[in-house]
Amino acid sequence: MNLLVLADIDDFHWHGPAGKADLLLALGDLADAVILEAAAAWRCPAVFAVKGNHDSAGPFPEPIVDLHLRSAGCAGLRFGGLNGCWQYKPRGCFLYYQEEAEAFLAAFPAVDVFISHNSPRRIHDREDEIHTGFTALNAYIERARPRLLLHGHQHQERETRVGETRVIGVYGWKVIEI
């Protein structure tokens, strides 16, 4: 299965290439038009997404499926997700305290692929008071052992293995085969 993964694209339209992917995963801080145009360019039959700290509070347009605290299936795999990042400023959409993220994921079911705007704590995060990861994602990885956890927010391309979970940070776009 080929996944087209998008995160933190600071534009209002898709200017990337075209291709073929089985599923588009949007990790936040993306204009809805970018997601929809990329899905069309890559002929993706399904689109799953979470919102980032720079996204609007409004719902995603169809056919984008919002995975925040939900799970959905595609091609025999289960996907789940979490919006936002940690509460680094007093106001804004999708900003959560560490304890809120922990409560969100405490009973979240195991999935094969978990998508998040934010990274797990101390895995790809940056010590700058804005790009701090969620400890809740570390606990989720330990408990649920997803095959893959994809995140944006950190504005860097990195991959780390945590136990049996591949943790991949995406900045821009990336094609991942699973």
Q: Each residue of 103-116: pLDDT tens digit?
A: 999 999 999 999 99
Give the mean pLDDT of 80-90: 90
Q: Which residues are CB-neighbours of 150 under 8 A, at least 6 positions away? A: 5, 25, 27, 113, 114, 115, 116, 168, 170, 176
Q: Which residues are CB-neighbours of 62 under 8 A, at least 6 positions away? A: none
Return the higher-pLDDT residue of 91 and 63.
63
Q: Each residue of 109-154: pLDDT tens digit?
A: 999 999 999 999 999 988 787 888 989 999 999 999 999 999 999 9
DSSP 94: T
Instruction: Give the pLDDT score at 102.
Output: 96
Residue 50 and residue 26 in contact, taking contact as beta carbons nearer than 8 Å = yes
Instruction: Give the pLDDT score at 151.
Output: 98
Instruction: Give the pLDDT score at 15.
Output: 97
Instruction: Give the pLDDT score at 94.
Output: 94
Distance of alpha carbon 88 from alpha carbon 96, whole angstroms: 8
Whether the pLDDT of residue 80 is over 90: the answer is yes
Q: Which CATH superfamily is domain 2-177 in?
A: Metallo-dependent phosphatases (3.60.21.10)
Instruction: Give the pLDDT score at 158.
Output: 94
Q: Which two tokens stand for residue 160?
A: 């780390």
Nearest CA among 176, 111, 121, 112 for reference residue 154: 121
Domain ranges of the chain: 2-177
Residue 20 and residue 42 in contact, taking contact as beta carbons nearer than 8 Å = yes
Q: Give kind and range of the element (H or E) at residue 149.
A: strand 148-151
Per-residue pLDDT band at 10 (split at 50, 70, 90)? very high
Q: Each residue of 67-77: pLDDT tens digit?
A: 999 999 999 99
